[in-house]
Amino acid sequence: MMVMYNKVALIGLGLIAGSMSLAMRRGKLAGEIVGYARSQETRNIAREINLVDRVCDTAEEAVQDADLIVLAVPVGAMGPVMEAIAPHLKKGAVVTDVGSVKRSVFDAVIPHMPDGCHFIGCHPMAGTEHSGPHSGFATLFDKRWCLVVPPEDADQAEVDRICDFWRGIGADIEIMEPDHHDLVCAVVSHAPHLIAYTMVGVADDLRRVTDQEVIKFSAAGFRDFTRIAASDPTMWRDVFLTNKDATLEILGRFTEELFALQRAIRTGDGDTLFDYFTRTRAIRRGIIEAGQDTSAPDFGRTPTKSE
């Protein structure tokens, strides 16, 4: 691969930004990678583990002369961050984000974009429940989808370049418009996370099941809810507040489906249950066939002492 951006500035140094840095190094896609995080502790750790070429103590310093600026902060923080760095961007700079909501990011970021600079929204559909500078790894994006969401007036050459950049760090690309992106993500990510948080909360509230039983028998399915529900609370708070309409629409549909299943269980309608589970099983097979997960036992996890 060739260098695609001479200087890349990562604003935020958690799982996604850290993985981007490591993947850029692997593919030799950037001349220099600099980073900034709001927390002094995070900056210190990033320096210690050599996560980026240079850690800056302010976002303004990080973005100076940068060709690509990646906003890898919670969705609710993107507007203020963009407002702070805008006067320090060089002409022609490209700003992107990695947030899982797009319409609200567009509304928060684009008004602060300087003339002569470009904003192109992106959303890598990859991640783990872990966060922080230690959590990144170079292969996070390999064979995963990155949704590229350009504004209507986007420079096509810059859209093509950022698509090639994401391909260079391992991702497959799909172009989407912002409202459709938010609806898709409400289905495949946001509502499932909220349901997982709810299921874990229900287990915590259900005092007839003791804490020790919840922990001891969690391999029976509950464990996978807890993995999702361990995700960063700040990020997910912002996601639900900024993708409210799409999430509520999907939750309404979910509630209707849940009521239908409740009715089938109550009335002993085994045919309805069997047909429903057969259809959903086929969706799981489709995900595996698309290479987005593995059919290996225990989801391909490597057992650890903690498990």
Domain with residue 258: its CATH number is 1.10.3660.10
The answer on 78 and 11 residing in a single domain is yes
Residue 303 above 50 pLDDT?
Answer: no
Residue 297 above 80 pLDDT?
Answer: no
Give residue for tokens 């990678």: 33
The count of structural domains within the chain is 2
Q: Give a yes or no: residue 55 inside a domain.
A: yes
Task: Sort 130 into a burial class: Cβ within 10 Å, 0-12 / 13-18 / 19+.
Answer: middle
Q: Give a yes or no: residue 306 inside a domain.
A: no
Domain with residue 126: its CATH number is 3.40.50.720
Q: Summarize pLDDT for 31-58 with one digit per residue, the tens.
A: 999 999 999 999 999 999 999 999 999 9
The answer to whether the pTM exceeds 0.95 is no
The answer on 248 and 115 residing in a single domain is no
Residue 264 above 80 pLDDT?
Answer: yes
Q: Give the span between the Cα atoms of 20 and 140, in whole angstroms.
A: 8
At 172, phi and psi to the nearest 5?
-90, 155
> Domain containing 55: what range?
5-176
The answer on 59 and 193 residing in a single domain is no
The answer on 208 and 144 residing in a single domain is no
- Tokens linked to 237: 């708070």
Q: Which long-range contacts (CB under 8 A, 24 or more apart) does 48-55 make?
A: 49/133, 49/134, 51/13, 51/18, 51/21, 51/22, 51/133, 51/136, 52/10, 52/13, 52/21, 55/13
Q: Give a yes or no: residue 284 inside a domain.
A: no
pLDDT of residue 15: 94
The answer on 168 and 25 residing in a single domain is yes
The answer on 161 and 90 residing in a single domain is yes
